[in-house]
Amino acid sequence: MTRLTRMLLGATVALGAITGAAWAQDATLKFHQMLPPQATIPSKAIKPWIEKVTQESGGKLKIDQFDAMALGGKPPELIDQAKDGAVDIVWTVIGYTPGRFPSTEAFELPFMMTTGEATSRAFQEYCEKNCADEFKDWKVIAWHAHGPGLIHSKNPVNKLEDMNGLKVRGGSRVINQMLEKLGATPIGMPVPAVTEALSKGVIDGTTIPWEVTPSLKVSELVKNHTTFSGKNGLYTQTFVVAMNQASYDKLPDDLKKVIDANSGIETAALFGKAMDEGDKRGREIAEKLGNNIITLDEAETQRWKDAAAPLIDAWEAEMTGKGKDGKALVPEAQALIDKYSAGM
């Protein structure tokens, strides 16, 4: 072997080592979620978030988005897919695993929430203080909520009595308990199942915000939508963007900083605001279809509030029984919602 050959080989090995080191700095993550790609959160929150992270990492952090449970499993399994490392990041409904994250339920109590963005900011601050122990097995990117939940039904719901015996889909333990207080028969199921359940008559109606109705074709399957007077919506549902802790820990420091910079209250607000914008689009579709949009007046809305109110006391007592300060959590949640709703 000539000296020149040895030099060239040495240079090649050195270049390979440098290239290998550079490649070692790159990472590809899998982001898994339940809704079709055209739905609000996949298209208007997750996709922009991924693009921002990719750009801020200089292209070193690649995140592949998998929609509609493309990697397998059912929506309630998403949180454990992230915990166990089957995927790296998930977006999921917290209430799909009832009892595991009890402190979060304060935000799902009736007539607490205002807008998706304001409630999401409040929920993020609340969870950073009160829920960290319940999510200790994940790197939480954001906690957030959707806009005002409402009733979408085959028959009109003009008053509280119209709920009696109605089979209504609820998305969490607390929402189902609320429906029961309102006289309905709650049917628990993940949101992707709503379309088939409505079309087959398994349910008479569903509780969801406007934003998810287009992707589920709800405004085509039912023609009645019941909303409420005042600044507070009937309910909200809570969500988490959660990352596998080991996937985060093994990232180099510069990429950890990118994830950290795209976590927290502004990311929660991004998701909440996307929900609010989606609500506008969802309602417009129902209006164009000529559907019956009912707004209950203040007096009727108060009847619903009075009927649902015992659930708040029961939840506070249940949390106290679990060693949490149930009496303090609800006022704290309400104060944070009021704080972030001011001026909106």
Same domain, 118 and 60: yes
Q: What is the CATH number of the domain that holds 85?
A: 3.40.190.170
Q: Does residue 244 lie in a domain region?
A: yes
Same domain, 130 and 231: no
Same domain, 65 and 205: no
Q: Does residue 6 lie in a domain region?
A: no
Each residue of 208-250: pLDDT tens digit?
999 999 999 999 999 999 999 999 999 999 999 999 999 999 9
The amino acid present at 120, given as its one-letter code, is S
Q: Does residue 17 lie in a domain region?
A: no
In the chain, how many domains are there? Answer: 2
Nearest to 54 by CA among 244, 261, 247: 261
Judge whether 272 and 117 are in contact, CB under 8 Å. yes
Q: What are phi and psi of 169, to 5 degrees?
A: -70, 135
Q: Does residue 68 lie in a domain region?
A: yes
SS3 161: helix
Each residue of 259-290: pLDDT tens digit?
999 999 999 999 999 999 999 999 999 999 99
Same domain, 333 and 251: no
Same domain, 143 and 156: no
- Full domain range(s) for residue 320: 150-235+289-341
Tell me: pLDDT of 1 over 90. Answer: no
Same domain, 207 and 273: no
Same domain, 229 and 154: yes
Same domain, 318 and 189: yes
DSSP per residue, 18-54 = HHHHHHHT-EEEEEE-SS-TTSHHIIIIIHHHHHHHH
Q: Rounded mean pLDDT of 90-105?
A: 98
Each residue of 153-209: pLDDT tens digit?
999 999 999 999 999 999 999 999 999 999 999 999 999 999 999 999 999 999 999
- Predicted local distance difference test score (pLDDT) of residue 25: 54
SS3 61: strand
- Predicted local distance difference test score (pLDDT) of residue 22: 40
Query: Where are the extended beta strands (E) located within 146-250?
Result: 150-153, 167-170, 185-188, 205-208, 224-228, 238-244
Same domain, 222 and 242: no
As a whole-number percent, the residues of the chain with pLDDT over 70 amount to 93
Tell me: pLDDT of 23 over 70. Answer: no
Q: Does residue 7 lie in a domain region?
A: no
